[in-house]
Structure 1
Amino acid sequence: MSETFTYVLLERRDGASFVTINRPEQRNALNNVVLAELGRAVDIAAADPETACIVITGAGDKAFCAGGDLKEMGAPNDLLAEHQGRGALAAFFGKLWAAGKPTIARVDGYCLAGGFGVALACDLVVASDRSTFGAPEVKVGLWPYMISLPLIRSMPPKQALKLMMTGERVDARRGAEIGFLTDVVPADQLDKQVAEYVRAFRSVSPQAIALGRSSFYQIVDHEPQARLALLHANLGVALTMPDAAEGLAAFAEKRSPRWAAEK
């Protein structure tokens, strides 16, 4: 646990490895460096014999993760490098699912877009009652391709489709009703609830968890990596479309987008 990162903190506490996205001033937004570091941190935690479970969280109390850093999604200088970088989120999901240990998302604050996917890719999602969730990509001319699989794994598919088509945000209470949250607690009880799960996972068989958890995901969704590869390819195509360019420009300029059909 001695490895250090630029944007991620990794520490073991009471039998759990806590992996923290540490960009609070950017609401813990994701970029290629963050995703690579998250993947490395999960690898280290998964290989640690003293780690009973892995907790993913965000620094501060404003956001778990507000999604991808849109300021870094402009016109790329190297199309291949950008395409490979976008695949880092799919790779991270794969690492979470293959970790062989329980994973918990500890959510406090905004949990949007790619951050929504990161949370729902975890086995359990424990959220404070002041948290907000959503997949707003459609509002900037995109589609939440890479997080589609975690979303449809975590709630009825039509509910996931509704969130993706409308870009609406929902509070934690509604998230629990839809079914994508495991627990909703007051903010001052968030760490207590996570600690209770950590204690539970420390008391059960690691071998049973490793095999049973793998079996669960094979039943829930066969060949997830193939599905993520399809979504990754579609995202690459989407980013070449005029509406995507307009949506990202409008976001950067803090104005309403003018979609192609409206011009």
Structure 2
Amino acid sequence: MYETVLYTVDERIARITLNRPDARNALSDRMIDELLDAFERARNDDGVRVIVLTGAGERAFCAGADLGGLGAQQADGRSVADPAAIRESAPFRLFTAFPKLGKPVIARLAGHAVAGGLGLAAACDLVVAADDVKLATPEVNVGLWPMMIMAIINRNVVPKQAFKLYYTGARITAAEGREIGLVTEVVPRDELDARVDGLARTIAAKSPLGLRRGRDAFFAIEGRPLEEQVEHLLGELVELAGSEDAREGVTAFLENRAPDFRGR
């Protein structure tokens, strides 16, 4: 039902694929709209417990914004300084959607992630990359700056390493990305699918209620004073402890069996 995105569900895992390989899976407005729709489908499907985001082919996970689309936006006369226009823009809606997904998101990098594509990968909860993948924020090379993704990158990388990415525009390896916090795991290319699938299945076996409430809490406490964080988290813990999933988890542990979580 999509032109630029593929969407499948199997074994409680939704797989969303950026499907513009000839354009290195660059982010057009249409792709972002379809990607957001796919995210909403996964979020609302009780049969989905984990989302895997990847790009078609092995050339690129995502090459960032479609410059042709960007040029068209600039040419139509809209003011980029208008706050209302900014909030309605495709990039704003995309990068602010991740905290609201309610389900774990794994980025599978079989190809390079650069510019907005690197921001897209970094917005995911976990990133598993093939060992020959490269990462970069090359905007400075053409007189720009990674404004669209800096808020995302800065949440993952310490300032000195972030500035090095921004100032040089140089490509780094997946292993270097892991060292600075952009990548969770680096595996040989021929082991990528097995590792992503294994990780997704492991997470999908956990309580969907615990995953959702815990993930929501992670984002809810961001930037708040310590006292407010602890207060919020203790309240969440009390509610989770009284859930059916928590009771099932404790019972299964005592009975030495796998839990049957229902998300309640």
**Is TM > 0.5 for Structure 1 vs Structure 2?**
yes
State how 1:89-108 maps to structure 2 within 5 Å. Answer: 89-108=91-110
Note if 1:26 corresponds to 2:28.
Answer: no
- RMSD value, Cα: 1.8
Q: For residues 34 and 84 of structure 1, what CA distance do their matches in structure 2 show?
A: 18
Partner in structure 1 of residue 44 of structure 2: 47
Q: For residues 220 and 160 of structure 2, what CA distance do their matches in structure 1 show?
A: 22
The runs of 5 or more residues in structure 2 that have no matched partner are 225-264
State how 1:146-225 maps to structure 2 within 5 Å. Answer: 146-221=148-223
Give the superposition deviation at 1:166: 1.4
Partner in structure 2 of residue 111 of structure 1: 113
* 1:193-248 alpha-carbon deviations (Å, 9 max, x no partner): 111111111211111111111111233456xxxxxxxxxxxxxxxxxxxxxxxxxx
Question: Whose RCO is larger (CA < 8 A, sep 6+)?
Answer: 1
Q: For residues 192 and 48 of structure 1, what CA distance do their matches in structure 2 show?
A: 24
Give the superposition deviation at 1:127: 0.4
Q: For residues 75 and 170 of structure 2, what CA distance do their matches in structure 1 show?
A: 32
Q: TM-score, normalised by structure 2?
A: 0.78
Give the SS at the match of 1:118: helix
The runs of 5 or more residues in structure 1 that have no matched partner are 223-263
Amino acid at match of 2:30: V
Amino acid at match of 2:169: G
* 1:70-99 alpha-carbon deviations (Å, 9 max, x no partner): 233336332328755983122112222110
Q: Is the contact between residue 18 and residue 55 of structure 1 (CA under 8 Å) also seen in structure 2?
A: yes
Partner in structure 1 of residue 70 of structure 2: 73
Give the SS at the match of 1:146: helix
Q: Is the contact between residue 174 and residue 186 of structure 2 (CA under 8 Å) also seen in structure 1?
A: yes
Matched residues, number: 219
Amino acid at match of 2:78: L
Identical-residue share of aligned pairs (%): 42
Q: Is the contact between residue 13 and residue 201 of structure 2 (CA under 8 Å) also seen in structure 1?
A: no
Amino acid at match of 2:187: V
Give the SS at the match of 2:127: strand
Q: Is the contact between residue 128 and residue 183 of structure 2 (CA under 8 Å) also seen in structure 1?
A: yes
Q: For residues 79 and 23 of structure 2, what CA distance do their matches in structure 1 show?
A: 23
Give the superposition deviation at 1:161: 2.0
Q: For residues 68 and 88 of structure 1, what CA distance do their matches in structure 2 show?
A: 10
Partner in structure 1 of residue 2 of structure 2: 5
Q: Is the contact between residue 7 and residue 16 of structure 2 (CA under 8 Å) also seen in structure 1?
A: yes
* 1:121-143 alpha-carbon deviations (Å, 9 max, x no partner): 00000100011101101111111
Please identify the structure whose Cα radius of gyration is greater: 2
Partner in structure 1 of residue 240 of structure 2: none
Q: For residues 98 and 140 of structure 1, what CA distance do their matches in structure 2 show?
A: 33
Q: Is the contact between residue 106 and residue 200 of structure 2 (CA under 8 Å) also seen in structure 1?
A: no
Q: TM-score, normalised by structure 1?
A: 0.79
Q: For residues 159 and 48 of structure 1, what CA distance do their matches in structure 2 show?
A: 38
